[in-house]
Amino acid sequence: MFMRVGFYFGREIYSNAESGGAFAFSQSIFKQLCKTKTNNEIFIFSDDADRFESSDFVQFVKINRFYPDQKECLLKKLALKIPRKILRSLQIKKYKSALNKIVLENKIDLMWFITPAYEQVEVPYVYTIWDLQHRKQTYFPEVSTNLEFENRERSYKFVVSKASFIVTGNQAGKDDVCNFYNYSRERIKTLPLPTPDFVLNDDFRKEVDLPDKGWVFYPAQFWPHKNHIVILYALKILKEKYNLDFNVIFTGSDKGNLDYIKDQIVQLSLQENVEFLGFVSTQKLVQLYKNAFALLFTSFFGPDNIPPLEAFALGCPVIAANVSGSDYQLKDAALLFDPKSEFELADCIKKLYDDQDLRSLLIKKGLEIAKSWTAKEYVDGVYKIISDFEPIRRCWSSKKSYKEK
């Protein structure tokens, strides 16, 4: 039996390019789905599905999000005397049910939420969890203020409890799902984040303007948990203790913490050692990786992340925070340090600076990891899970809604 399987990336198939790793992941998986043969019928549902042409492997289906216009709303309000707040609630409910409506119309057997974006559906579904750091590190403001914690918790409790399977990146992520939501361990599948296509198929040959001094690189949006501050303190130590004058290049958009980092740079007298490039093109990002002394990945959040994989693929040595999950993802291809310790970070940079053989070894091992798990392996893993579910799903029909008699 073949199944009709729906995929949902979020309202748009490609998330905003400035979202960084999420964008790279979505692009890679989407392209791989479009060229991978399977015995099942594959549907991709999206608000912008009309931008793409269906093929032998994938059918694109546009989600019809219907909002009544203001005139219609006013007529309903006057005719039925529905309070505005209630009417608005009904409109939102209808909007949120749009995906479910079209999923049922297309007789979908199984939905796969390939990113953490979720909308309620009345068919079995697989849900992807990238991290549960709002539970592990509640002190960071980006997961604790403005009802962010409450909103995440409300969503995860509902979505996880009904999921047919949960997909996460490695054993550390699997443990988190079990611990926080008491979910069946047997139904949690691990699919590591894949190395993005654009760094494996490096077609960016044109050179771009880059600094002429030695520098380390950190591509990360300016959230507090990204831990830019530890890099500044480490640079200060390198300068004062070892007379090593490293620069750092930061890329990424401001998420509320950039002004604080700039203030700290002034206090540490590092104005000449830090460069902010903001959001950069893919071409420039590739060149930054290729020419950096090392990627410093200092984030407190795991269990796996995209930038170290990009660095691995482009021959950039990685020094990364030793957080839950990093040992599964990075193995022995990176130097790990305590993200709370600028002294450990400085020692790692100095170690890499002094030992060219170590640098070469890390580059070699990193490239092996980058090539070992790509979007192809990820999608193959997705289809394996789907295939294993088929003997369960064939027990009832998707042609009509199930009703007990």
On whether both 210 and 344 belong to a single domain, the answer is: yes
CATH number for the domain that contains residue 355 = 3.40.50.2000
Range of the domain at 75: 4-130+374-393
Shared domain check, 204 and 352: yes
Rounded CA-CA distance 165/113 in Å is 11
Q: Which two tokens stand for residue 8?
A: 């949902």
Give the pLDDT band of residue 12 (cuts 50, 70, 90).
confident
Per-residue pLDDT band for 95 (boundaries 50, 70, 90) equals very low
113, 13 Cβ separation under 8 angstroms: no
For the chain, the domain total comes to 2
Rounded mean pLDDT of the chain?
Answer: 89
For residue 188, tell me if it sits in a domain: no
pLDDT over 50 at 390, yes or no? yes
Least confident of 34-43, 193-202, 380-389: 193-202
Q: Among the listed ranges 80-84, 96-100, 361-365, which one has the minimum average pLDDT value? A: 80-84
pLDDT in tens, 166-224: 999 999 999 999 999 999 999 999 999 999 998 987 665 555 555 555 799 999 999 99
pLDDT of residue 64: 85
pLDDT range class, residue 96, cuts 50, 70, 90: low
Evaluate whether residue 170 is within a structural domain: no
Q: 222 and 84, same structural domain?
A: no
Banded model confidence at residue 71, pLDDT cuts 50, 70, 90: very low
Q: What is the pLDDT of residue 213?
A: 57
Cα gap 51→63, rounded to integer Å: 12
Residue 179 included in any domain: no
Looking at the fold, whether 348 and 359 belong to one and the same domain comes out as yes
Triad 271, 275, 280: Cα angle to 5°: 165
Asked whether residue 68 carries a pLDDT value surpassing 60, the answer given is: no
Same-domain check for residues 250 and 282: yes
Residue 319 CA to residue 337 CA, distance in Å, equals 8
Considering the entire predicted model, what is its pTM?
0.88
Mark whether 281 and 389 lie in a shared domain.
Answer: no
- One domain for residues 382 and 290: no
Confidence of residue 333 (pLDDT cuts 50, 70, 90): very high
Q: How far is CA 129 from CA 170, 235, 306, in A?
A: 11, 34, 15
pLDDT band, residue 69 (cuts 50/70/90): very low
Residues 330 and 343 in one domain: yes
Domain co-membership, 112 together with 232: no
Contacts of 161 (CB under 8 A, 6+ apart): 181, 183
> Is 75 a member of any domain?
yes
Q: What is the mean pLDDT of residues 260-271?
A: 97
Q: Please tell me the predicted confidence (pLDDT) of residue 397.
A: 85
Q: Is residue 116 part of a domain?
A: yes
Q: What is the pLDDT of residue 337?
A: 98
- Residues of the chain with pLDDT > 90, as a percent, come to 76
Taking a C-beta distance cutoff of 8 angstroms, is the pair 394, 1 a contact? yes
Residue 267 lies in a domain: yes
Do 263 and 338 lie in one domain? The reply is yes
In a domain, residue 177? The reply is no
Structure tokens at 343: 């002294």
Residue 24 neighbours by CB under 8 Å, 6+ apart: 196, 198, 306, 310
Same domain membership, residue 212 and residue 118: no
29's tokens: 């998986």
Look at 85 and 215; give whichever has higher pLDDT.
215
286 pLDDT more than 50: yes
Q: pLDDT tens-digit profile of 128-168?
A: 999 999 999 999 999 999 999 999 999 999 999 999 999 99
Q: Indicate whether 162 belongs to any domain.
A: no
State the DSSP code for 51: G
Cα of 379 vs its chain's centroid, Å: 16
Is 106 strand, coil or helix?
Answer: coil
* 3-class DSSP string for 363-399: HHHHHHHHHHCEHHHHHHHHHHHHHHHHHHHCCCCCC
Q: Are 75 and 89 a contacting pair, CB within 8 Å?
A: no
Do residue 111 and residue 213 come from a single domain?
A: no
Res 212: pLDDT: 52
Least confident of 18-27, 162-171, 342-351, 372-381: 18-27
Q: Quote the Cα angle for 167-172-176, to 5°.
A: 75
What CATH code is carried by the domain that includes residue 22?
3.40.50
